[in-house]
Amino acid sequence: MEIIIRPTSLEGSLLAARIVARTVREKPHAVLGFATGSTPLVLYQELARLHREKGLDFGSVAAFNLDEYIGLPVDHPASFHHYMRRNLFEHLNIRPEHVHIPDGLAADIPAACRKYEDEIRSAGGIDVQILGIGTNGHIGFNEPSSSLASRTRIKTLTRQTRLDNAADFGGVENVPPHVITMGLGTILESRMCLLLAFGAKKAEAVSRMVEGPVTASLPASVLQLHPRSVIVLDREAAADLERAEYYEWTNSQKPEWQKY
């Protein structure tokens, strides 16, 4: 794991945007994996700015989203289809036919999940998978106890995750109990996993992810097994890391060609 600690979430988000932008410039046909939630919003705003002001071209980029609620109409304000359109896709020149988001309205959910896996493989695999982390350590909607080898599938949300997302639905009772999510095994096949975590409420999960054992009880810990996991934190999210000083020193000693 590469642990990058920045003083603020803004600085962390801008750094993450540079990583994604460099990937797109070096590989115009890049395949990007996107996450939702509040954590990547500034990253997406910066990508939109780079497209608008610097000509960053997404015309040949393919996009795959981590997850979607089951049974939620795509135009529902809390659906991830709606989130991605509003916060990113309508601000880029990405082609609609290149956008892939799990189909939460599919009549045959297992078949839709198999199709999603096939589409990722057909696209050549994901170059950069953007991730957040839940307070219980989930990535995507891979809740604690998820198989570390899991593939895209239906998952039942924990009460904690439904509570965390309740504000988007006007109460926990309105949060759909089921989702489609990329599996941990699917995520691990990405060439780079770029995880962002900001704020004190993520500090415990971050410390367990980075410095604890690899365990299905903390799904994000599986990123310890990935050859190129880049973890971008602000100081609050890094507060519980025992080796934070070492991570910062290591980052400061990078040769120029390794810097983002």
Active site residues: 67, 136, 138, 143
Cα–Cα distance, 249 to 211 (Å, whole number): 17
Instruction: Look at phi and psi of residue 55 and say left if phi exceeds 0, alpha if psi is from -120 to 50, else beta.
Output: left
Cα–Cα distance, 7 to 162 (Å, whole number): 30
- Contact between 237 and 202 under an 8 Å Cβ cutoff? The reply is yes
Cα–Cα distance, 217 to 22 (Å, whole number): 34
